[in-house]
Amino acid sequence: MTFVPGSVPIPSPLTSPLRGTAKETAALLPSHPVTIRQVRIPENFDDDAAALLGEIADLVRRSRESVWGTADLANDAADIFRDLHDPWERVVLLEAREGRKLVGRAEVRLPLVVETRSAQIFLTVDPDHETGGVGTELLAAAESVAQSEARRTLIINSEHPGPQDLQGDGRIGSATGALPFVDSDAWITAADGSGRLPISNRQTRFARRFGYKLQTVSDISRIVVPMDASEHERLTGEVEAHPGAGDYRTHSWVGEAPEQWLDSMATLHERIPSDSFVPPRLWDPEPWDAERVRRTEALRAENGDISFMTVIEHLPTGQLVGMTELVLPGPGAPLCFQDETVVLREHRGKRLGLRQKLANLDQLSAQAGSVESVYVWTHSGNARMNWVNRRLGAEVLGRSAVWTRRVGLE
């Protein structure tokens, strides 16, 4: 499938939310000739693959740096290659070029096992071409691919700058992240209650212009490590002095979990969907057991990732009631990522989330001294977890959002 310059079809009014006068529609199209074409996904990571995917990696890096202010949150060419070969979904890769210059890319991800009537579209446009209509043509082409595969739920992701003056008085928000007043005309709230975005934001306007509805909003935050020693001592004293603290003990490890905790770890994983801030739309059909815990650990190791885990034991019962995981993308990496964190509902309100995260940061600093930043994703409206992260020094860099729209006849 090849799209020649300027010929990417705008879907018909039956399936497209693109509405307005011819002048309004023309304003959304590229101001310079842009070629959209499907790119063959490399079978091997050879020199040609490294060159192509290196261009894409650079595009994504510059885009995220312009939005979030950091170049850390972009995969390199090798990571992109592995991601394009996900066994659970087929990926169609589109590129937009102005002459020989790569100015945009789209990945159309087609699930093969679950949600097989949906397609997820990831768009990236060169920061210097964001107002040129490249995103419009890329989205039209990606939607055409998805609909040709009979996908009826289209999902796009958007990336947004960090918090602005959310309350109109110069304050970004309260210590809990709660927003006491919101002008409904200036903000759009996610369908799942996870957060909100300013309607004036360029990315928000783009998604709404094409008929997408906001589903979920997450904050992207950075914690600088190691923590200030005096602040660490103060927080440690706080969690240890909390009523009932003596009923709990932390355990930490790197890599595989000790055999004695496998069943308890499986229970914690099973409870994550029901005990999370926003339960998943589709529940995990595969039950968690010791074997699945080991399989997950093996997949981490195969990808070259290093897992730092801290759990909370409830001493009266001998069961684990909380866990938190940090993932280091290889030895010597300067950054790592927060993965799953959970404290069972019946044990909340006892500073256990803060306690286990402190212990895991201690373990990380002791065993991975190269790490300078920990990146964390949380739902924007999750006041409880955002409070914990802010106590640890987390600074919100930006937000990411998920949008959906239905196509075709219901």
**Residue 396 counted as domain residue:** no
pLDDT at residue 278, as a whole number: 78
- Whether 175 and 237 map to the same domain: the answer is no
Does residue 4 have a pLDDT over 60? no
Burial class (CB in 10 A: 0-12, 13-18, 19+), 272: middle
- Whether 207 and 326 map to the same domain: the answer is no
- Whether 194 and 240 map to the same domain: the answer is no
Closest C-alpha to 129, from 103, 105, 106:
103
pLDDT at residue 177, as a whole number: 41
pLDDT at residue 91, as a whole number: 96
Q: pLDDT (tens digit, 9 = 90+) per residue, 138-194?
A: 999 999 999 999 999 999 999 999 875 443 333 344 333 444 445 667 899 999 999
Does residue 103 have a pLDDT over 90? yes
- Whether 178 and 45 map to the same domain: the answer is yes
pLDDT at residue 1, as a whole number: 30
Quote the CA–CA distance of 234 and 225 in Å, as a whole number.
Answer: 16
pLDDT at residue 132, as a whole number: 79
pLDDT at residue 249, as a whole number: 97
- Whether 362 and 305 map to the same domain: the answer is yes
- Whether 260 and 198 map to the same domain: the answer is no
Out of 14-28, 242-256, 331-345, least confident range = 14-28
pLDDT at residue 113, as a whole number: 87
Q: Phi first, then psi: give them for residue 347, nearest 5 degrees.
A: -115, 15
Residue 122 tokens read as 């990831």
pLDDT at residue 226, as a whole number: 93
Considering Cα of 233, then 234, then 236, then 240, what sign does the dihedral take? positive
- Whether 8 and 125 map to the same domain: the answer is yes
What number is the average pLDDT over the span 251-276?
93
pLDDT at residue 101, as a whole number: 94
| pLDDT, the chain, mean | 86
pLDDT at residue 222, as a whole number: 96
Does residue 21 have a pLDDT over 80? no
% of residues, the chain, pLDDT over 90: 73
Burial class (CB in 10 A: 0-12, 13-18, 19+), 354: buried
Q: How far does the chain reach from its first CA to its final CA, in angstroms?
A: 28
**Residue 395 counted as domain residue:** no
**Residue 391 counted as domain residue:** no
pLDDT at residue 285, as a whole number: 66
**Residue 36 counted as domain residue:** yes
Q: Phi first, then psi: give them for residue 17, nearest 5 degrees.
A: -85, 5
- Whether 156 and 278 map to the same domain: the answer is no
As a residue count, the chain comes to 410
Strand partners for 101: 98
Confidence band, pLDDT 50/70/90 cuts, at residue 283: low
What is the CA 363 to chain-centroid distance, rounded? 24
**Residue 247 counted as domain residue:** yes
Which structural domain, as residue segments, surrounds residue 330? 226-371
**Residue 390 counted as domain residue:** no
Domain count, the chain: 2
- Whether 27 and 136 map to the same domain: the answer is yes
**Residue 393 counted as domain residue:** no
Quote the CA–CA distance of 88 and 313 in Å, as a whole number.
Answer: 35
Does residue 16 have a pLDDT over 50? no
What number is the average pLDDT over the span 120-132?
91
What letters, b where the CB count within 10 A reaches 16 and e where it falls short, cover 44-68? eeeeebbebbebbbbbbbbbbeebb
Q: Which residue is listed with tokens 């190269």? A: 370
3-class SS at 218?
strand
Does residue 362 have a pLDDT over 50? yes
Q: Which residue has the higher pLDDT, 113 or 1?
A: 113
pLDDT at residue 218, as a whole number: 94
Quote the CA–CA distance of 390 and 177 in Å, as a whole number.
Answer: 9
- Whether 209 and 267 map to the same domain: the answer is no
Q: Kindly report the pTM of this predicted structure.
A: 0.83
Does residue 11 have a pLDDT over 50? no
**Residue 290 counted as domain residue:** yes
- Whether 105 and 148 map to the same domain: the answer is yes
- Whether 310 and 274 map to the same domain: the answer is yes
CATH number at residue 155: 3.40.630.30
Does residue 266 have a pLDDT over 60? yes
Out of 41-45, 174-178, 188-192, 362-366, least confident range = 174-178
Count Cα neighbours of 23 within 13 Å in the Cβ-side half-sphere.
0
Element at 216 (helix H, strand E)? strand 213-224
